[in-house]
Copies of this chain bind each other. A is one copy, B any other.
Amino acid sequence: MSAAHQALRTAEVTGRRIEVIALEQTADTSYSACGIPYLVGGQVDSADQLIARSADEHRRLGVDLRMGTTVTGIDRDRHVVTATTQFGDPQQIDFDQLVLCTGAQAMVPDWARDAHGELIGGVHPAKTLADARYWLDLIIGSGRRGLVVGGGYIGLEMAEALAERGFDTTLATRTRVMSKLDPEISDRIEAGLTAAGVTVCTDTTIASARVEDGRIRSVTTLAGQEIPADVVVLALGVSPSTGLGAAAGLPIGAHGGYQPDDHQRITESIWAAGDCCESIDRMTGDWLYAPLGTHANKQGRVCGFNLGGDDSKRFAGVLATAITRFASGPTYLEIARTGINSQVAARFGYDAITLITESNTASGYMAEAAPITVLLTADRTTRRILGAQIIGGAQSGKRIDTVAAALWGRMSVDDLAEMDLSYAPPFATVWEAVQLAARRVAERI
């Protein structure tokens, strides 16, 4: 919808005459998928609050939005998509330019399905608003043992949601918690989860499920361990929904996503934006799959500008910046990252140094002071910052943006150590945490 509205706004400026049709398969549009764990956890009162714009609002702003419409094929030669409505009526819709914003789908392992290919009762992902409604219904009448499969962002957030709902919660992950971070940070997250009463099973792959009366009872790991569970959240990540494009012969990347150019264009008449796309990682120059709302919004906007007649707008790539928190019981942890970790740095041939620096979010004598751990990776050759990870208490996570800005400008650890950042006792130490980390790395290169 970012693409749709930006195209209309830009066309008004450029004078290009356009008509925007938007086809949406589900009954929901423009909601915050990132808010779902907080809805399930009870911090957000109702699903309505997650909806940014209703279908009618989109229509009032000039988009011909057709809900409940499933696209079944793309005829690239005839410039036509075929679709069926929710009532099964076949449709043909002409286009001059087609934008694929088909998003991503939650990964579902084989053991989570029954003989008919349907999800076992009590086993479900947490990606869409429909998923959220499933969980809200289920969570009330369920037993009290919850299992989260997957240790990434959604896994962590859904573990918080289950724990906050009073579930006896287990988190199982194939390697370690938040495995895209460095191991030292994963260890700290695991300790925080454990302190909050969450049982963490690392290096654990689920192999099968035991079902009774159509409902999940337990899962069994590859190692033969049985984990009882009344509900199982599938948080194994998402994969780009590119089936339509693949069937139409569009090229698909190694991560399964579209690989549009920096105008978000794939072919002369086909574009793509959002979670169905891979993005260029500015740190490696390589394609990366980073399905985040921030990128989706920016890509949609770039797409809209171009479709509306302003081809000066480009998508500049990603740093894989992300933030989350885990807050339950005695644990309050903010977790954030930007750039590449030490393993990726090594893989791309950097002579990297990685250092962990512990400090405080505020002057030690202030009540606001909370611990903050900054892991910083830099290139010894160029002294350029390659990435950072932060874990800490309140007000720690958002400091990742300072490093992200430095990464965006391809700055060195010296730049970050020298720059003029803000200090007052309730907000920082005199050497701001990320700056102290940069200074220590600079001294060791």
Contacts of A323-368 to chain B: CB distance below 8 A: 323-325, 334, 336, 338, 363-367
Does B292 contact A423, Cβ atoms closer than 8 Å? Answer: yes
Task: Report if A420 contacts B (CB, 8 A).
Answer: yes
CB pair B367 A43 closer than 8 Å: yes
Report A405-416 CB contacts with B as 1/0, cut-off 8 Å: 110110100011
Residues on B with beta carbons closer than 8 Å to the beta carbon of A405: 402-403, 405-406, 409, 411, 416, 419, 421
Contacts of A421 in B (CB 8 A): 294, 321, 401, 404-405
**With the chains together, A336 CA to B432 CA distance in Å?**
15
Q: Are A408 and B420 in contact (CB under 8 A)?
A: yes
CA distance A293 to B422 in the complex (A): 10
Nearest B residue to A426, CB-CB: B325
Per the bound structure, the CA–CA distance linking A363 and B32 in Å amounts to 9
Bound: A427/B396 CA distance, A? 11
A75–B237 alpha-carbon span in the complex (Å): 72
* Contact B35 A423, beta carbon cutoff 8 Å: no
* Residue A380, interface by CB 8 Å: no
A44 at the binding interface (Cβ < 8 Å): yes
**A363→B50 CA distance, assembly (Å):** 9
- In the complex, which of the residues B295, B320, B365 contacts A49, with contact meaning CB atoms closer than 8 Å? B365
Interface 1/0 per residue, A300-329 and B, CB below 8 Å: 000000000000000111111111110000
A430:B398 contact, CB within 8 angstroms: no
CA distance A389 to B428 in the complex (A): 18
Most chain B CB within a 10 A radius of its CB, from A32, A153, A401, A427: A401
Contacting residues, chain B, for A298 (C-beta < 8 A): 418
Among B50, B336, B420, which residue has its beta carbon within 8 angstroms of that of A338?
B420
A216 to chain B minimum Cβ distance, whole angstroms, is: 28
Contact pick for A38, options B44, B366, B395, B404, CB 8 Å: B366
A205 within 8 A of B: no
Please determine whether A422 and B409 come into contact, CB atoms closer than 8 angstroms: no
**A interface residues, Cβ below 8 angstroms from B:** 32, 34-35, 38, 43-44, 49-50, 153, 282, 292-295, 297-298, 315-325, 334, 336, 338, 363-367, 395, 397-406, 408-409, 411, 415-416, 418-428, 430-432
CB nearest to A336 among chain B residues: B422
Q: Is the CB of A398 within 8 A of B395?
A: yes
Q: Which B residues lie within 8 Å of A431 (CB)?
A: 294, 297
Enumerate chain B residues within 8 angstroms of A416, measured Cβ to Cβ: 405
Give Cα A179–Cα B425 distance, bound, in whole angstroms: 22
Task: Specify which of B399, B420, B425 is in contact with A319 (CB 8 Å cutoff).
Answer: B420
Give chain B nearest CB distance to A363 CB in angstroms. 6
Q: A43-B367, A420-B320 in contact; A398/B411 too (CB < 8 A)? A: no
Partner of A293, one of B404, B406, B408, B430: B430
> A271: shortest Cβ distance to chain B, in Å?
18
Q: Are A366 and B420 in contact (CB under 8 A)?
A: no
A297 touches B430 (CB 8 A): yes
With both beta carbons as reference points, the residue of chain B lying nearest to A322 in the complex is identified as B422
Would A35 and B363 be within 8 Å (CB), given that A401-B432, A409-B411, A423-B293 are in contact?
yes
Q: How far is the CA of A421 from the CA of B294 in the complex (A)?
A: 8
Contact across chains for A404 and B419 when beta carbons are under 8 A apart: yes
CA distance A316 to B334 in the complex (A): 32
Please, which residues of chain B bring their CB within 8 A of the CB of A323?
Answer: 422-424, 427-428
A405–B427 Cα distance when bound, in Å, is: 17
Q: Are B422 and A365 in contact (CB under 8 A)?
A: no
Contact (A398, B418) CB under 8 Å given A32-B365, A38-B366, A409-B409: no
Partner of A423, one of B294, B363, B425: B294
A418 to B409, CA, bound (A): 12
- Picked from B366, B418, B427, the residue with its CB within 8 Å of the CB of A44 is B366
- Complex Cα spacing A282 to B150, Å: 47
Cα–Cα distance between A36 and B389 once the two chains are bound (Å): 33
Residues of B near A403 (CB, < 8 A) are 405
Is the CB–CB distance between B406 and A422 below 8 Å? no
16 A-B pairs with CB atoms under 8 Å apart are A32-B430, A34-B363, A35-B363, A317-B420, A325-B424, A334-B427, A338-B420, A398-B427, A398-B428, A401-B432, A402-B404, A404-B419, A405-B409, A405-B421, A409-B411, A409-B415
